[in-house]
Amino acid sequence: MTQAHSRWKHVSFYCCIISLSLNISIASGASLPALQAPTIPAVPAGATVPLLDASKTVQLSPHIWMIPGYPNIPIIIGKKAVLVVDTGLGNAAAHVISEEVERLAPGKPVYLTTTHFHPEHAAGFGGFPAGTKLLRPSIQQDELNADKGRMLERFRIHNAEALSNADYGKPELFNGEKTLNLGDVHARIFWAGPAHTYGDTLVYIPEDQALVTGDVVQNLATPTFLGGSIGPEEWLHTLQALAPLKPKLVIPDHSPPGPGEKLIKDEEAFMTALIAETREAKKNGLSEDEAVEKVTTILHAQFPDWTMNPLTGDGIRRAWKKEA
């Protein structure tokens, strides 16, 4: 394993262990109900989430730069304006992003959107300059309002200082999708369905045939099931909605960018295998715990190069419970 790939696995591991399970349901137009206490994975003592280093910024396509880290921060630059995707973990990380944006595109108006409501993606609005315009879909804002306090407590385990003045901003809300004209490039910000969370938001840049996927599509990393009752069937349906875009480039948040169509197909294949093997296990009389153990072993064998995070087992449990 190369040093770079090992580092990405390290970041992906910390992404999954500091997140928590939500217990919420969203109906169209309905408010979120009260949430129950989640089951929290064990956290290694003394671990610290790494922040961002703008010296590692790379250009991925004619209009897209990315600060790699926790999480990856895509920056889409047009002749008239800039779109930043995600804030980093708190205001200090966002300040790093803001300085890099000013270096890359001095003086241009800045738009900001967030792929989902978890703190390393959405809690650093205070680090952006005055005048930054925050855009967020209503479904993501509803999820944020329902669970931001409890999620903040879990992320503070690793970096309390970074989140001491967490700021989610006051967004302009939209339903479904919103397209920005940044000058010579456009950014389509849209909600395609539930996956990692209920409010997962993606960004498609047609001129560069690039798709920013948040946690919905990763690169050689298994899905992290956190969104309440969202199971692999719902996640697979969302992936299938993305396939017609046929992006050349996918930019995930916790793994390296990669070939777009392939990464979407790979994730579809993983989710399909998880569902099929879980159905088979239950059909053969395996208990829920036995199914998790058996299906995890099978998936390890079928996808040997993938990072398997602890919360993938939650997806197996959800698929097992759904089967009659």
- The confidence band for 149, taking pLDDT boundaries of 50, 70 and 90, is confident
Q: Is the pLDDT of residue 141 over 90?
A: yes
Residues 6+ apart with CB under 8 A from 284: none
**Once rounded to an integer, what is the mean pLDDT over residues 17-24?**
31
- The confidence band for 311, taking pLDDT boundaries of 50, 70 and 90, is confident
Using only the alpha carbons of the chain, give its radius of gyration.
Answer: 19
Residues 26-85: pLDDT tens digits?
Answer: 223 333 333 333 333 344 444 556 678 999 999 999 999 999 998 999 999 999 999 999
What percent of the chain clears pLDDT 90, i.e. is strictly above it? 73
**Once rounded to an integer, what is the mean pLDDT over residues 7-22?**
37
Tell me the HSE value of 48 on the side-chain side, using a 13 A CA sphere: 8
pTM for this predicted structure: 0.86
Q: What is the pLDDT of residue 22?
A: 30
- The confidence band for 9, taking pLDDT boundaries of 50, 70 and 90, is very low
Q: Is the pLDDT of residue 11 over 60?
A: no
The region of weakest confidence among 15-24, 188-197, 277-286 is 15-24
More confident residue, 173 or 20: 173
Q: Is the pLDDT of residue 154 over 50?
A: yes
User: Could you tell me the end-to-end alpha-carbon distance of the chain, in angstroms, rounded to an integer?
Assistant: 41
Residue type, 67: I
- The confidence band for 262, taking pLDDT boundaries of 50, 70 and 90, is very high
Q: Is the pLDDT of residue 143 over 90?
A: yes
Residue 257 near residue 66 (C-beta atoms within 8 A): yes
What average pLDDT is seen over the chain? 86
**Once rounded to an integer, what is the mean pLDDT over residues 168-187?**
97
Residue 180 dihedral angles phi and psi, to the nearest 5°? -105, 140
Residues 88-129: pLDDT tens digits?
Answer: 999 999 999 999 999 999 999 999 999 999 999 999 999 999
- The confidence band for 16, taking pLDDT boundaries of 50, 70 and 90, is very low
Q: Chain centroid to CA 125: how far?
A: 17
Residue 13 near residue 309 (C-beta atoms within 8 A): yes
Buried b (16+ CB within 10 A) or exposed e, 296-321: bebbeeebeebbbbebbbbbbbbbbe
Q: What is the pLDDT of residue 205?
A: 98
**Once rounded to an integer, what is the mean pLDDT over residues 314-324?**
89
